[in-house]
Structure 1
Amino acid sequence: MAHPAHTVLSGLDDVRADVEDLYRDLHRHPELGLREHRTAKKAANALRDLGYDVTEGVGGTGVIGVLANGDGPVVMARADMDALPVRERTGLPYASTATVTGEDGDEQPVMHACGHDVHVACLIGCARLLAGRRDAWRGTFVALFQPSEEQGNGAEAMIDDGLTTSPRPDVVLAQHVLPYPAGYVGTRPGSFLSAADSLRVTVHGRGAHGSMPQAAVDPVVAAAMIVVRLQTVVSRELAATTPAVLTVGSIHAGSGPNVIPDRAVIELNVRTYDDATRGQVLDAIERIVRAECEASRSPVPPEIERIASFPPTVNDEEPTRRVADAFASYFGDDAHTVERQTASEDMSEIPRAFGVPFTYWAIGGIDPGRYAEAARNGTVSEDIPVNHSAGFAPVVQPTLDTGVSALTVAALAWLGG
């Protein structure tokens, strides 16, 4: 008897063109978080046409499709839908020229610079294959399309809006396209993606004329000292074997060269892999900010706000082993163990809300020849666009075939046995 994965994936040729068309369409029409109305409608309509029981508008724009096919496990597969405020510079014929009006009234470019268009198209492809060969598996497949991953609030929005009233899964699956060669699949048990915390620090001073610094408390100088001192947190307070990243990404102060302002605003981001390190770094930031402000004679204590937060993605061992074994059997030498990533995700909030295990893996999206040449030249970092860059656009194939196949093989590791 043929393996269920091979039986179901025998239909890949039949769905390939539609999956490719959907990917190009989504790439051309990206939408920011919680505005994914067009994307969500396309996903919902596709699922409904396949016979799925569809719920729309979960957490704003989230979509849930349920296909019950007899007794057996319940497998949930999740894809994120949102794009980024980035101006695309790929030169592709289906490149985005979309813009939106931001909260400040300014026009913002929008681009699928993180591959969520790949994720949506691949999950629709997997949903089609499973619906077309119900004779090859038993159980329930749940396709979940999540909004606003980039802002870190989409999973929580769906949970708050009743996500857990959906069928309780036995396992939650997800994948992400990364700058590896297309055709690559990579699993990793345990810690995979970092936690991320973004902070806004407001340093208060006393404004004055630039020619009279003695009348001022200069928040620009205090902010500069904070930025320098923060560089010592990872290099001098953590062990060399403890991975962490602390980046100051934004400083805003003042309105002219001869005016000492009354405040400066610093925005920074922290990446860590465990709660102990996360707490240690956040405590160090607060200690340094408060101490430098006191040393600078700030008239008001600083304000430290956490403006975004992502949990660490820590894959459960058993489902990761099961998926890794299934990938090794199906993909052969293209199945790998992927290294830990400093990117962050909110996907793990979903299985946590249900109280069930999950596994999250990587697929590659870079033209294999281009990647191989860059690797030979030692120029991968320079020549290969990464997620969130204006040049990041996964090649259509074999990226999509790999993503559809990976989701299908992983789901059938439960549904096909």
Structure 2
Amino acid sequence: MTGTVWTGLDQLVSELADFYRDLHEHPELSLQEQRTAGLVANALRPLGFDVTEQVGGTGVVGVLRNGDGPVVLVRADLDALPVEEETGLTYASTARATDADGQEVPVMHACGHDMHTTCLLGAATLLSRDPGSWSGTLVVVFQPAEELGRGARDMVDDGLFRRFPTPDIVLGQHVGPLPAGTIGHASGSIMAAGDSAKVVLHGRGGHGSRPEATVDPVLMAAHVVTRLQGIVGREVPPSESAVVTVGRLQAGTKDNIIPDTAELGINVRTYSARTRTLVHEAIERIIRSEATASAAPRPPELEWTIAVPPLISDPNATETTVAAFAEHFGEQRLFPLPPLAASEDIGVLGEAAGAPMVFWFWGGLDADMVTAALRDGRFDQLPTNHSPRFAPVLEPTLTTGVETLVVAALTWLGKPVETLG
């Protein structure tokens, strides 16, 4: 893909690198992205976008109208994680913040959202400078709280598609532990639904020397954890995939005291609506049954706290977009990916808009490092998203991430709307 849209890309990338380093050094937790959102809004306004802040909390929406044509929405996320950075970078984060539980925690852009935000600003800049290369309406969405699985829903609930143009297509991307400069793509259900539950099991506490006078919630919790691991192996069909993880089990204060309660944190990953429902119902059934079998004095409490739908990259729209990537970058820089068990809440935007969605991944790790790890059988030792050692190399990650967004947007801007259905 050639044309005047790429004019000034090298100088722009140099400026974007400074912007990225600033974001990386000053990360903000989910729902606290005030500084980041302000920087984004201030960068968009001079480009001619109509900018609205505080959408769904700290979200920023920019709208650029450029004649007749489809509405193309491109999304990036803003938030960071409670992780202590160990990258050794000169611009590494030393930030600390107070989380939702009132605890002081370290903060780091360990998932690459700072790179996502920077690349979308770069794409918005190039497209705004060359209105002659496209027609339609470009909507850029900078979303908060992706790490909580709620930011997209918060923006939709705050009227995202009532207050702003409803898209004909939704585009998004994620940086990951692939060789920098490469692009990974998949079609259909490419990322899992992600659901989390908080469970409180009620017992009757007492002295550890007299268990007969108690109802032990720790034993109850142990049976629940064990039984939950049988769901995937014995209830999910072999043709389907699912993951059930108990990532948190908390109970008691002292070894000789049987507590009144035990708490579990459960995480579920599934790829289809049928399996998602099956696993949810099995979890609830097991928890209720184990409480009954243990003679719990009160029914268990179960709250589904996070619900992220499967991420579906529309097959037809994905094929068209990947073909444009191949034309621009060359086939050698593209490769197919299997479905991932991780989750992403951008699917909420596509569902709410009733629009097809295209999502892809691009590499952020030094290519030589990845090659050496593959050669030596150390691929699983490479830093991945959410690791305290994960930080994309600036180049060619930044340039590639800007170009993918521009190519994808131009693939659809100016197309007849009926071709996007």
TM-score normalised to structure 1 length: 0.96
- What does residue 138 of structure 2 align with? 141
Output aligned runs, 1:159-174, within 5 Å. Answer: 159-164=156-161, 165-174=163-172
| Worse overlay, 120-129 or 97-106 | 97-106
Q: Does 1:30 align with 2:27?
A: yes
Q: For 1:121, what is the secondary structure of its paired residue? A: helix
Could you tell me which runs of 5 or more consecutive residues in structure 1 were left unpaired when the two chains were aligned: none
- What does residue 74 of structure 1 align with? 71
Output aligned runs, 1:18-417, within 5 Å. Answer: 18-164=15-161, 165-332=163-330, 333-382=332-381, 384-415=382-413
User: Which residue identity does 2:37 align to in structure 1?
Assistant: A
1:94-141 CA distances to partner (integer Å, 9 max, x unpaired)? 111111122333211111111100100000000111112222222221
- Verify the 8 A CA contact 1:9 1:408 in the aligned structure 2: no
- Verify the 8 A CA contact 1:182 1:399 in the aligned structure 2: yes
1:194-246 CA distances to partner (integer Å, 9 max, x unpaired)? 00111111111111111111111111111111111111111222233311111
1:247-298 CA distances to partner (integer Å, 9 max, x unpaired)? 1101000010110111111111000000110111111111211222222221
CA distance in 1, matches of 2:65, 2:383: 40
CA distance in 1, matches of 2:239, 2:358: 25
1:284-314 CA distances to partner (integer Å, 9 max, x unpaired)? 1112112222222212121111111111111
Shift of 1:73: 2.1
CA distance in 1, matches of 2:177, 2:394: 14
| Worse overlay, 250-259 or 60-69 | 60-69
Q: For 2:264, what is the secondary structure of its paired residue? A: strand
1:151-179 CA distances to partner (integer Å, 9 max, x unpaired)? 11111211122211212222110001111
- Root-mean-square deviation (CA, aligned residues, Å) is 1.3
Shift of 1:416: 5.7
CA distance in 2, matches of 1:97, 1:24: 13
Q: For 2:361, what is the secondary structure of its paired residue? A: strand
CA distance in 2, matches of 1:104, 1:140: 41
- What does residue 418 of structure 2 align with? none
CA distance in 2, matches of 1:135, 1:104: 50
User: Which residue identity does 2:260 align to in structure 1?
Assistant: D
> How many residue pairs were aligned?
413
- Verify the 8 A CA contact 2:70 2:414 in the aligned structure 1: no
User: Which residue identity does 1:27 align to in structure 2?
Assistant: H
Shift of 1:6: 4.4
CA distance in 2, matches of 1:221, 1:104: 27
TM-score normalised to structure 2 length: 0.95
- What does residue 419 of structure 2 align with? none
- Verify the 8 A CA contact 2:78 2:143 in the aligned structure 1: yes
CA distance in 2, matches of 1:194, 1:253: 30
Q: For 1:49, what is the secondary structure of its paired residue? A: helix
Q: For 2:146, what is the secondary structure of its paired residue? A: coil
- Verify the 8 A CA contact 2:308 2:348 in the aligned structure 1: no
Q: For 1:227, what is the secondary structure of its paired residue? A: helix
User: Which residue identity does 1:297 align to in structure 2?
Assistant: A
CA distance in 1, matches of 2:410, 2:55: 26
1:82-103 CA distances to partner (integer Å, 9 max, x unpaired)? 1111111111111111111223
- Verify the 8 A CA contact 2:63 2:139 in the aligned structure 1: yes
Q: Which runs of 4+ in 1 moved over 3 A?
A: none
CA distance in 1, matches of 2:352, 2:235: 34
User: Which residue identity does 1:206 align to in structure 2?
Assistant: R
Q: For 1:150, what is the secondary structure of its paired residue? A: helix
- Verify the 8 A CA contact 2:29 2:99 in the aligned structure 1: no
User: Which residue identity does 2:71 align to in structure 1?
Assistant: V
Give aligned-pair identity as a percent: 54
CA distance in 1, matches of 2:376, 2:233: 30
- Verify the 8 A CA contact 1:120 1:145 in the aligned structure 2: yes
CA distance in 2, matches of 1:135, 1:105: 51
